[in-house]
Amino acid sequence: MIFSIICPTLNEEKYIENILSVFIQFCPKPSELFVVDAGSTDQTRAIVNGWSKRHEGIYLIENPDKYVSHAFNKCYPLARGKYLALLGAHTNYSEVFFSTALTELEANQGDVVGGPLHQIGVGEWGNAIAYCMSTPFGVGGTEFRVSKKRSFVDSVAFAFYKREIFEKVGLFDTRLKRNQDDEMHYRMKAAGYRILMVPEMECDYYVRNSVYSLAKQYYQYGFYKPLVLRKVTEGLRPRHLIPSFFILYLFSLPFAFWLGFNFWFIPLGLYGLLNIKFSFINKLPLSEKFRSILIYPLLHCSYGLGFIFGFFSKRA
């Protein structure tokens, strides 16, 4: 068995056939695909069952614990592959995605391999969100979101792993609803394993298309990051702390105004200029440029608030 691919799902009827089709057509054989469902109420399960009856190597697994880390850990004892992968259903994979991963792993170019994200939105808000999440001003130096360069990185999306890694560093942390892959990758790097980002493995990822769902997503990213960094301090980067410092700075502004410390507002002005600059130096329609002005602070503030609450939370 070459690949054991684990794909967590929840109400993915619009997207699930993408990975099923690519798996059947282009994944090196023999391989297996575990679709691990967290209780879908749409047609996701029916679609997967239909494909599994027509094609070998596709399995539908129940995941009553809901989250990604539980999905992977539940399938690990069932997986027979030389290499394991954790992939998302909300994503389009190219014809060479699986074959490139196999080539890189067999050549020992990296212990973990994956590709950059081409982030896609639907509608004006979705397009603006996808753009903001692809810029350094929006997400810092997260390589797989802002770079297409072949390089060793801290983390990568939708990765393929050598099985031996899990035998040495353990499985995913089930306390994490978010950042479970980041935590695993930091742990792997701390143990000396190499994570390689391969441009040819670029995949299309569909972002959230509403400000509410985006704010919820990034709040959770921030909330669970302190737990990750407490476990693996080597993963700490300035980009993880800056949003929370920005929140504290914003809370200090009323006191600065009351005390007459006008110079304290200079960073806010600089932030506003950078926001406008990154919102307008693109080819987006004018309406989406103005939406970007709102999305950038939403990303930063949601993450920053989440980080602060997560830092003091007993759960984190």
Q: What is the pTM of this model?
A: 0.84
pLDDT of residue 24 exceeding 70? yes
Exposed e or buried b for every residue in 75-97, given b needs 16+ CB within 10 A? Answer: bbeebebbbbbbbbbbbbbbeeb
Q: What pLDDT digit, counting tens, does each position of 240-288 carry? A: 889 999 999 999 999 999 998 999 999 999 999 999 999 999 999 999 9
Comparing 131 with 154, the larger pLDDT belongs to 131
pLDDT of residue 44 exceeding 60? yes
Comparing 173 with 279, the larger pLDDT belongs to 279
Exposed e or buried b for every residue in 220-250, given b needs 16+ CB within 10 A? Answer: bbbbbbbbbbeebeebeeeebeebbebbeeb
Backbone φ, ψ for residue 138 (5° rounding): -80, -45
pLDDT value at position 186? 86
pLDDT value at position 235? 61
pLDDT of residue 37 exceeding 80? yes
Mean predicted lDDT score pLDDT of the chain:
90
Q: Residue 288's Cα: distance from chain center in Å?
A: 23
CA distance 220 to 81: 32
pLDDT band for position 234 (cuts 50, 70, 90): low
Using alpha carbons, select from 163, 168, 175, 306 the residue that is nearest to residue 231: 175
CA distance 125 to 138: 15
pLDDT of residue 3 exceeding 90? yes
Using alpha carbons, select from 78, 90, 92, 74 the residue that is nearest to residue 23: 92
Q: Give start-end residues of each CATH 3.90.550.10 domain in the chain.
A: 1-89
Using alpha carbons, select from 232, 243, 262 the residue that is nearest to residue 300: 243
pLDDT of residue 315 exceeding 70? no
Mean pLDDT of 97-120: 93
List, in order, residues 6 or more apart from 71 with CB less than 8 Å away.
6, 8, 36, 38, 61, 63
CA distance between the termini of the chain = 38
Task: Report whether CATH 3.90.550.10 matches the domain 1-89.
Answer: yes
CA distance 6 to 76: 9
CA distance 174 to 156: 19
CA distance 38 to 277: 41
Handedness of CA 31, 37, 38, 43 (dihedral sign): positive
Mean pLDDT of 60-66: 91
Contact 81, 31 (CB under 8 A): yes
pLDDT of residue 316 exceeding 60? no
pLDDT value at position 288? 95
